[in-house]
Amino acid sequence: MRPLLINGEWLTTSHASENINPSDTSDVIDSFAQAGLAETQDAISAADAAFASWSLSTPQKRHDILKTAGDEIMRRKDEIGELLSREEGKILAEGIGETVRAAQIFLFFAAESLRLTGDKVASVRPGVEVDITREPAGVVGIITPWNFPVAIPAWKIAPALCYGNTVVFKPAELVPACSWTIVDILHRAGLPAGVLNLVMGAGSVVGQCMVDDARVNAITFTGSVGTGARIAKDSLPHMRRLQLEMGGKNPLVILDDADLDVAVDVAVNGSYYSTGQRCTASSRLIVTEGIHARFVEAVAERLNNLVVDHALKPGTDIGPVVDATQLEQDCAYIETARREGGNLRTGGALLKRDTQGYYLSPALITDTTPDMRINREEVFGPVASVMRVRDYDEALSVANDSEFGLSAGICTTSLKYASDFKRKSEVGMVMVNLPTAGVDYHVPFGGRKNSSLGPREQGSYAKEFYTTVKTAYTAP
């Protein structure tokens, strides 16, 4: 049984939970201790107690620990990447790529620890000095989803520690192994007891306990809109800092003047890679009439040639869906889209492979309209729908017609349309001739509308969430 980490001690519990390989359900990866209320409260107490000292630790110490961890993750990228693919189901190249990115994030924030500055401002009053400094936010509760089991914990834990916060970390139930590995690396890198605590367990128990505890000063969460909304509501009495990254229904606009090969690459990558299980995946393909037939034909052909199989098998393009519940949800959305008048152009079939896994062929649904559920709700699977529009103006208006606003893309060779789209997209991230998913690790990440609440993640913008500003006045 892999233990919890509370106050610097590894702790087993009476109850354990197993994680299973979605490419091969007979492959049980490991078993993991499950925290209950008592363990979660102990973890919060430990983080609370460790804050006084860690918040005053030197930038050099934080740098050295984050750098040591980043270096080890990079050194072990193949092994951790394989574990990731085995546990979550994305293909090996993506698993290794995500691990490299996590290492880069730790190295970025290692250096960032040395860069925190303040301002000295002339006072409007004679002889008075004004200093503006940043201090850590306090105990940070980190709640993560299953789809990026290494990168998302990294992009929350690294800045939290970098800016002097202490952490209670609850990973998603489906992917404890990657989280455990990252925490083990950080622990061995020299973190003092209580600075980083790992509590694996149910969201409704462990996550909710963190949300209900007034000692948790800030919560950063990535997951569904429903859970995010609940965390926001339950956090209100505590007046705490919140950073919520939730769903997306990201549009990709294809204009008549697009380079067809680029558009097809961008659409297939953005919609279907990582089994479409990315909050930044393109799920609404908005295509102008002049290119519509050629685009749909070319995408369908590419999809038919993609290899859907075991995530660790060489040659696999698309791994399995993460679990039975998600697979059921994907199939239900495809069925609803058909009932509402969409045409399942290709894919959407359950596939049998050598191993028993959750295999679904990538689905392309054409002839859909903006009001259909498939264009309004997040599916989170290898499913994209096509809407045919007259021109750029209609495309922009359909793209913005969503409760979500995470990422949006356009394929065009026109500078005029590209510039206009960048300006008028109601999203946090916009891509020109690039997939809506796949972002850099050193620049802000986040969205608008119901996709996100609170300051951006990643890059130096992360300090907006992980620090609080103090203005100090001194008279001589």
Q: Does residue 326 sit in helix, strand or coil?
A: helix
- Whole-angstrom Cα distance, residue 474 to residue 476? 6
- Whole-angstrom Cα distance, residue 232 to residue 118? 30
- Asked if 335 is an active-site residue, the reply is no
From the CB of 9, what's the least distance to ligand ADP, in Å? 23
Q: Does residue 163 sit in helix, strand or coil?
A: coil
From the CB of 127, what's the least distance to ligand ADP, in Å? 50
* Pick 247 or 409: Cβ nearer ligand ADP: 247
- Whole-angstrom Cα distance, residue 476 to residue 155? 42
Contacts to ligand ADP by CB under 6 A: 143-145, 170, 172-173, 203-204, 207-208, 211, 223-224, 227, 230-231
- Whole-angstrom Cα distance, residue 396 to residue 89? 34
- Asked if 279 is an active-site residue, the reply is yes
* Pick 278 or 284: Cβ nearer ligand ADP: 278
From the CB of 391, what's the least distance to ligand ADP, in Å? 36
* Pick 212 or 394: Cβ nearer ligand ADP: 212
Is 10 buried (19+), middle (13-18) or exposed (0-12) by CB count in 10 A?
A: middle
From the CB of 202, what's the least distance to ligand ADP, in Å? 6
Q: Which residues pair with 395 in a beta bridge?
A: none
Write down the H helix ranges in 76-150. 77-88, 92-113
* Pick 4 or 143: Cβ nearer ligand ADP: 143
Which of 88, 245, 377, 378 is flagged as catalytic?
245
Phi, then psi, of 217 in degrees rounded to 5:
-80, -20
Contact 100, 74 (CB under 8 A): yes
From the CB of 199, what's the least distance to ligand ADP, in Å? 11
Contact 183, 11 (CB under 8 A): no
Which of 279, 378, 411, 457 is flagged as catalytic?
279
From the CB of 228, what's the least distance to ligand ADP, in Å? 7
Write down the H helix ranges in 310-400. 324-339, 392-400
* Pick 87 or 265: Cβ nearer ligand ADP: 87
Structure-block tokens of residue 46: 């430990």
* Pick 156 or 456: Cβ nearer ligand ADP: 156
- Catalytic positions, written as ranges: 245, 279
